[in-house]
């Protein structure tokens, strides 16, 4: 059964690949069929500037002259596979308060970056593995995010990340 959102079919699938530098990628629908174009604008409207390969995704799609294209993103979830050795999210981490923050910088090559939490002077460390397990491929400076944070040996560090728009909807 296909859900319909504002006259457009809603599709559940996974990200085949997404290149933030090019601004697009493709989705493979769970139900099969041709690849679905995912443009960065659809992601930005959802509140993210990137998404990692194999992440779960729910979108509405439309047929264009060049094929299927995602119009709106409704959900992004981390990859659900055993191929990548990622730390498991501690269930207690989900109980942590989601803190509003802006990305200060993130270097994909170095594998880490920092964010500033509103109203707090210290930076929050963000590791690449936390980014991946949260369903992101990278972060852009100034991007608004919600962080769940713990005190680490060297200061505050993120244990999970969500787009700020997603965080707002979960509060409602």
26: domain range?
Answer: 3-77
pLDDT at 60: 95
Residue spans of alpha helices (H) in the chain: 40-46, 128-133, 164-171
Q: For residue range 29-88, what is the model confidence (pLDDT) as tens digits?
A: 999 999 999 999 999 888 888 888 888 999 999 999 989 999 999 988 877 654 433 344
**Stated pTM of the model:** 0.58
Tell me whether residue 161 is in a domain. Answer: yes
pLDDT at 83: 42
- Are 56 and 113 members of one domain? no
Tell me whether residue 157 is in a domain. Answer: yes
pLDDT at 12: 95
- Which of 77, 102, 136 finishes a domain? 77
The count of other CB atoms within 10 Å of the CB of residue 91 is 7
- Are 72 and 141 members of one domain? no
CATH of residue 46's domain is 2.40.50.140
Q: Are strands 144-152 and 155-163 parallel, antiparallel or unpaired?
A: antiparallel
Q: Which of 18, 25, 79, 29 is nearest to 58 (CA)?
A: 29
Whether the per-residue pLDDT at 1 is higher than 50: the answer is no
Share the mean pLDDT of the chain.
83
Phi-psi region of 89 (alpha: psi -120 to 50; beta: other; left: phi over 0): beta
- Which of 48, 77, 106 finishes a domain? 77
Phi, psi of 87 (to 5 degrees): -65, 140
Number of domains in the chain: 2
- Are 66 and 113 members of one domain? no
- Are 41 and 96 members of one domain? no
CB-count burial class (<10 Å; 0-12, 13-18, 19+) for 34: exposed
- Which of 77, 109, 131 finishes a domain? 77
Tell me whether residue 98 is in a domain. Answer: yes
Tell me how far apart the alpha carbons of residues 50 and 135 are, in angstroms, rounded to a whole number: 9
């Amino acid at each position: 059964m296909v859900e319909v959102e504002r006259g457009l079919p809603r599709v559940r699938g996974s990200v085949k690949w997404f290149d933030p530098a090019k601004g697009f990628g493709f989705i493979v629908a769970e139900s099969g069929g041709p690849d679905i174009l995912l443009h960065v604008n659809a992601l930005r409207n959802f509140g993210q500037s990137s998404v990692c390969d194999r992440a779960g995704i729910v979108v509405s799609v439309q047929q264009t002259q060049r094929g299927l294209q995602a119009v709106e993103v409704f959900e992004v979830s981390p990859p659900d596979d055993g191929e990548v050795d990622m730390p498991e999210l501690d269930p207690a981490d989900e109980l942590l308060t989601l803190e509003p923050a802006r990305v200060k910088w993130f270097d994909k090559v170095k594998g880490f970056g920092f964010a500033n939490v509103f109203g707090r002077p210290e930076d929050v460390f963000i590791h690449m593995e936390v980014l991946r397990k949260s369903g992101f491929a990278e972060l852009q400076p100034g991007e608004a995010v919600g962080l769940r944070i713990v005190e680490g040996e060297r200061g505050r560090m993120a244990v999970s990340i969500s787009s700020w728009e997603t965080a707002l909807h979960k509060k409602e």
